[in-house]
Amino acid sequence: MKQIIIFALIVIAGTGGELCVSRAMKKVGEARSFRPGAVAQVILRALRVPWMWVGVGMMATAFFALLGALSMFNVSFVVPVTALSYVAGAFGGAAFLGEQVNRQRWLGVLLVAIGVTLVFLGNR
């Protein structure tokens, strides 16, 4: 049960953080050039978007949960299981960001989910 909770935290907080940061950056817009001043303006605009702070907080939570998982389990188990974030990312992108996910991408997500299931069941 402990491993399910820690991996759920890694996947949900990590992917949720990426989705929030993506939403913030869509609001901020892209940098028009890579001059230091232009990059600094984008960073300063991003810091004023609440979604950015929510995303960074969630990603930090996922990072520390990942550290905990790596201290308890083998890396050959941790890294493949955290690939569930690809599955969560596809669903989150479609639901939270309104992205269009084509059939080929859903098939890839299904293959990742099958692979994670095999790794997870092989650890029991």
The pLDDT tens digits for 9-45 are: 999 999 999 999 999 999 998 888 889 988 899 999 9
Domain boundaries, the chain: 2-122
What confidence score (pLDDT) does residue 70 get?
95
Quote the pTM value: 0.87
Distance, in Å, from the CA atom of 63 to the CA atom of 11, rounded to the nearest integer, reads 10
Q: How many CB atoms lie within 10 A of CB 81?
A: 22
User: What is the predicted pLDDT for the residue at 1?
Assistant: 80
Report CA dihedral (5, 9, 11, 14) to the nearest 10 degrees.
-170
Residue 2 clears pLDDT 90, i.e. is over it: no
For residue 30, the model assigns a pLDDT of 85
What is the per-residue pLDDT across 85-96, written as a single tens digit (0 to 9) for each? 999 999 999 999
Provide the mean pLDDT of the chain.
Answer: 93
**Of the ranges 60-64, 96-100, 120-124, the best mean pLDDT one:** 60-64
In the predicted model, what is the mean pLDDT of residues 68-86?
Answer: 92
Q: What is the pLDDT of residue 60?
A: 98
pLDDT value of position 4:
87
